[in-house]
Amino acid sequence: MYQYQTNEVGFCYNQIDLLREGYAYKVIDYADVTRIIIKRGYVIKNWIFSLVFSLVLMLTSSFMILNLIVNIVEFRNLSLILFMDGSKGFGIMAVVFLMAFGVYGSIISLKKSLIMIVYTENKSYFFSLEFFLSNGNISNFLIFIKNLKITNITIPTTISGL
């Protein structure tokens, strides 16, 4: 049983279990942990890649919208433009979905919360602590982390404003 658990990770007194569908697929012993950092950061580990991909989706959608506007002004035939050469309206839906996915991806990639980075000898592990913030259990979790037998732990002095 875990003292603290999210969907991705479970914390015990002697180890961290990485979880997949509630079952541990990897165990990190606290003896192997060299450093733990808890700080405010991006919720997504590869947030730059996600942001760039989202911006590409939005630029593509914007180009398609601009192309539609130019065709409406040039041909003055809305029915031809709406169906985009026989695609039965799927062209308009593609533009809307590209823009919606781009906006959603940008919002998610720029989202910040409390994160935990666990360093071992050869790898680092990234965990979002947003679950503990939303449950109001973050103070107890930080006390739990401070009481571990790890010498190099960086925890913020205040968690207000996170």
What pLDDT is recorded for position 71?
72
Q: Average pLDDT of 61-88?
A: 69
Residue 59 pLDDT > 90, yes or no? yes
**Cβ count near 97 (within 10 Å):** 13
Instruction: Name the most confidently modeled range: 45-59, 83-97, 134-148.
Output: 45-59
Q: What is the dihedral of CA 75, 78, 82, 85, to 10 degrees?
A: -40
> The tokens 């739990």 sit on which residue?
144
Q: Average pLDDT of 23-47?
A: 90
What pLDDT is recorded for position 87?
56
Is the C-alpha dihedral spanning 67, 71, 74, 76 positive or negative?
Answer: negative
Question: What is the rounded distance in angstroms from the CA atom of residue 6 to the CA atom of residue 131?
Answer: 7
8 Å CB contact between 152 and 143: no
Residues in the chain: 162
Rounded to the nearest integer, the mean pLDDT of the chain is: 84
Q: Average pLDDT of 72-86?
A: 61
Q: Average pLDDT of 119-138?
A: 89
How many percent of the chain have pLDDT more than 70? 86
Which two structure tokens, joined as six digits, stand for 68?
Answer: 């539609």
Query: What confidence tier does 160 reach under pLDDT thresholds 50, 70, 90?
Result: very low
Question: What is the rounded distance in angstroms from the CA atom of residue 18 to the CA atom of residue 139?
Answer: 22
Question: What is the rounded distance in angstroms from the CA atom of residue 32 to the CA atom of residue 47?
Answer: 27
Beta sheet of 33-42, edge-to-edge order: 124-128, 112-120, 33-42, 153-154
Q: Average pLDDT of 66-80?
A: 71
Residue 82 pLDDT > 60, yes or no? no
Whole-model pTM over 0.95:
no
Residue 101 pLDDT > 90, yes or no? yes
Query: What confidence tier does 162 reach under pLDDT thresholds 50, 70, 90?
Result: very low
8 Å CB contact between 28 and 16: yes
Q: Angle formed by the axes of helices 47-75 and 90-109, to 10°? A: 150
Query: What confidence tier does 135 reach under pLDDT thresholds 50, 70, 90?
Result: confident
